[in-house]
């Protein structure tokens, strides 16, 4: 009989490893498949094709198979009946089932239905194993049959261990199982942890046709191990196992064939990621030199790293082989110890306690994984909010810097414009002053010329008047002379005197 327990997530690293193997959201097809599997195990005669068929009546039939003292009460609402089933399972498994909501079960929520069906499936498997164990107690066995069963079980255990040892690490085909019954399919190794088969020597269980457990999409990965180890077990390195082929290819490839990326291409990708920042040519050249140094250092260290990696892998293989040999020796001691407990009630109590512990631990792991999933979602949301805050701060800083640059440019442009206006005003004022000076100078020149012209005109007028007077006097003298000459020639002296008197009188007038 195989005793299966789950791995305890007792540290943050194991929590992250469990999250790496967690399935996505539960689909309706998985819920229907698990419901049909439980229906076939319990023997319920009904057809399940949709969520409407998975009601409280279906869960009560399964629960009545687990608990024979349960009485169906159809007069109460479905929510209270679901709550009673959850409370009974919580008390029976000694753990909290707060992650399953009764109202969501009434509304046929796929996730809650899948969680409750998984717990009931584990309980049904435990009941079936306990029924098979009780039926095997009444089978009479002889010493030869017990020895043959012990030898056959030991050979099966060794074949399983050999398959586990050589299948995951090497590409060689595992050796065929030793001493298997004809028609028995070969067992596949479970790489999730140490797999141990307990030998029930005094009571050999006759083979029965039982369906293997259906593989659900649950995150509860069971491993098989001896009872004496309690709940301590190594966690499967699933992520590391998936990365092994790539690491093996990377370390086996020569350094000259390692695909290298152009530093300019890396810089362009970096600038695309940081498209909000404006980098100068000097900064880009500095980043390019740093990237080139990093690439050169990585290529130089690759051969020594591969050699050290190969040595570490050889040491890990040797340590793993030594631990497996020690485990096989401990299993032989455990088999001898189980011989002394074959007819005692302590073995039954130990088996029942281990089954109960397994069920409780599976539910606890499920609860821890759900809580861990919620925490990871919260961390992702917080990280996203922090990134958005950083981007927002960077964007605000860039906007503030652009605004400051724009203000500085406006101030500089304003100062230049002010200086241009001042220079223009100065030139205009200089031109106006010069023009005014020229106008004043011209006015002075004009006044001077006018004064000169007036003075000249005045002087010319006086000269003309003087000349006229002189000319008149001259003419008058000439006329007098002519008159005197004529008078002297024509008239006598008396008449001449009278004419002189008359002429003097006329000239005086």
Q: Cβ–Cβ contacts within 10 Å for residue 360, how many? A: 18
> Band of the pLDDT at 291, cuts 50, 70, 90?
confident
The 3-class SS string of 143-169 reads HHHHHHHHHHHHHHHHHHHHHHHHCCC
Answer whether 1's CB lies under 8 Å from 196's CB: no
Residue 198 pLDDT > 50, yes or no? Answer: no
Q: Which helix (H) or strand (E) holds 223?
A: strand 222-224
Identify which of 223-227, 337-341, 433-437, 495-499 has the greatest average pLDDT: 433-437
Answer whether 146's CB lies under 8 Å from 202's CB: yes
C-alpha–C-alpha distance, residues 268 and 287, integer Å: 11
**What sign does the CA torsion over 146, 147, 148, 149 have?**
positive
Q: Which residue has the higher pLDDT, 411 or 300?
A: 411
For residue 458, the number of C-alpha atoms closer than 13 Å in the C-beta half-sphere is 6
Mean pLDDT (whole number) for 404-428: 93
pLDDT for 376 equals: 92
The 3-class SS string of 299-344 reads HHHHHHHHHHHHHHHHHHHHHHHHHHHHHHHHHHHHHHHHHHCCCC
| Least confident among 33-47, 104-118, 185-199, 255-269 | 185-199
Q: Cβ–Cβ contacts within 10 Å for residue 178, how many? A: 12
| Least confident among 23-37, 112-126, 185-199 | 185-199
Question: pLDDT (tens digit, 9 = 90+) per residue, 20-46?
Answer: 333 445 677 888 888 888 888 888 877
* Residue 26 dihedral angles phi and psi, to the nearest 5°: -70, 135
Mean pLDDT (whole number) for 252-271: 60
If you compute the radius of gyration of the chain from its CA atoms, what whole number of angstroms results?
61
Question: pLDDT (tens digit, 9 = 90+) per residue, 322-372?
Answer: 887 888 888 888 877 777 666 566 667 777 888 888 888 989 898 999 999
Residue 321's closest CA among 106, 166, 506?
166
pLDDT for 150 equals: 63
C-alpha–C-alpha distance, residues 141 and 154, integer Å: 18
Helices (H), strands (E): how many in the chain? 12, 2
What does the chain come to in residues? 509
CA distances from 253 to 49, 248, 259, 407 (A): 53, 9, 10, 58
> Band of the pLDDT at 14, cuts 50, 70, 90?
very low
Q: Which residue has the higher pLDDT, 448 or 71?
A: 448
Residue 129 pLDDT > 50, yes or no? Answer: yes
Q: Which residue has the higher pLDDT, 221 or 397?
A: 397
C-alpha–C-alpha distance, residues 491 and 505, integer Å: 19
pLDDT for 412 equals: 94
**What sign does the CA torsion over 309, 315, 320, 323 have?**
negative
C-alpha–C-alpha distance, residues 5 and 363, integer Å: 11
Q: What are 180's two structure tokens?
A: 């298997």
**What sign does the CA torsion over 448, 451, 457, 460 have?**
negative
Question: pLDDT (tens digit, 9 = 90+) per residue, 303-320?
Answer: 555 567 767 777 777 787
Answer whether 200's CB lies under 8 Å from 215's CB: no
pLDDT for 481 equals: 87
Residue 163's closest CA among 149, 180, 147?
180
Mean pLDDT (whole number) for 435-462: 89
Q: What is the mean pLDDT of the chain?
A: 69
Strand pairing class (222-224; 4-6):
antiparallel
| Least confident among 295-299, 367-371, 376-380 | 295-299
Residue in the structure block whose two tokens are 């009460």: 73
pLDDT for 437 equals: 92
Continuous H helices in 137-262: 143-166, 238-252
Helix/strand/coil for 78:
helix
Classify burial at 410, counting beta carbons within 10 Å of its beta carbon; exposed 0-12, middle 13-18, buried 19 or more.
exposed
Q: What are 269's two structure tokens?
A: 């990708």
How much is the pTM? 0.28
Question: pLDDT (tens digit, 9 = 90+) per residue, 137-186?
Answer: 444 455 566 666 666 665 666 556 555 544 444 333 443 433 333 344 44
Q: Which residue has the higher pLDDT, 242 or 417?
A: 417
Phi-psi label, residue 246: left if phi above 0, alpha if psi -120 to 50, beta otherwise:
alpha
Q: What are 428's two structure tokens?
A: 């205009």
């Amino acid at each position: 009989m195989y005793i299966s327990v789950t791995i305890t997530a007792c540290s943050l690293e194991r929590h992250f490893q469990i999250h790496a193997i967690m399935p996505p959201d539960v689909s309706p097809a998985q819920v229907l498949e698990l419901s049909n599997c439980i229906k076939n195990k319990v023997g319920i005669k009904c057809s399940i094709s949709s969520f409407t068929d998975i009601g409280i009546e279906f869960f009560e039939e399964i629960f009545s198979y687990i608990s024979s003292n349960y009485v169906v009460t159809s007069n109460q609402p479905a929510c209270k009946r679901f709550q009673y089933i959850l409370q009974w399972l919580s008390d029976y498994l000694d753990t909290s089932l707060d992650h399953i909501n009764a109202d969501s079960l009434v509304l046929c929520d796929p996730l809650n239905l899948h969680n409750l069906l998984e717990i009931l499936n584990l309980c049904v498997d435990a009941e079936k194993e306990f029924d098979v164990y009780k039926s095997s107690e009444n089978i009479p066995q002889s010493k030869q049959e017990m020895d043959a069963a012990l030898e056959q079980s030991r050979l099966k255990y060794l074949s399983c261990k050999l398959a586990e040892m050589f299948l995951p690490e090497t590409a060689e085909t595992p050796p065929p199982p030793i001493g298997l019954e004809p028609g028995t399919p070969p067992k596949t190794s479970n790489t999730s942890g140490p797999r141990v088969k307990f030998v029930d020597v005094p009571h050999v269980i006759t083979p029965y046709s039982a369906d293997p457990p259906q593989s659900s999409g649950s995150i509860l990965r069971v491993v098989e191990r001896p009872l004496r180890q309690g709940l301590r077990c190594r966690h499967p390195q699933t992520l590391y196992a998936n990365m092994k082929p790539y690491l093996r290819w990377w370390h086996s490839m020569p350094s000259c064939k390692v695909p290298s990326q152009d530093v300019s291409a890396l810089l362009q990708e970096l600038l695309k990621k940081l498209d909000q920042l404006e980098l100068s040519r000097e900064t880009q050249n500095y980043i390019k030199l740093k990237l080139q140094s990093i690439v050169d250092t990585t290529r130089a260290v690759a051969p020594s790293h591969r050699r050290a990696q190969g040595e570490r892998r050889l040491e890990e293989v040797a340590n793993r082989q030594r631990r497996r040999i020690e485990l096989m020796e401990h299993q032989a001691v455990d088999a001898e110890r189980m011989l002394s407990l074959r007819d005692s009630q302590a073995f039954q109590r130990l088996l029942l306690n281990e089954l109960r512990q397994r069920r409780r631990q599976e539910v606890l792991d499920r609860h821890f994984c759900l809580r861990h999933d919620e925490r990871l979602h919260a961390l992702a949301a917080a990280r996203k909010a922090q990134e958005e805050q950083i981007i927002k701060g960077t964007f605000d800083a860039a906007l503030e810097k652009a605004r400051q640059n724009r203000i500085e440019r406006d101030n500089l442009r304003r100062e230049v414009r002010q200086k241009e206006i001042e220079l223009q005003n100065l030139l205009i004022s200089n031109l106006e002053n010069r023009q005014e000076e020229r106008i004043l100078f011209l006015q002075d020149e004009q006044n001077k010329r006018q004064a000169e012209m007036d003075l000249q005109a005045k002087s010319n007028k006086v000269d003309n008047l003087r000349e006229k007077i002189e000319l008149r006097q001259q003419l008058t003298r000439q006329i007098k002379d002519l008159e005197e000459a004529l008078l002297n020639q024509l008239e006598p002296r008396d008449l001449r005197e009278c004419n002189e008197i008359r002429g003097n009188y006329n000239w005086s007038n």
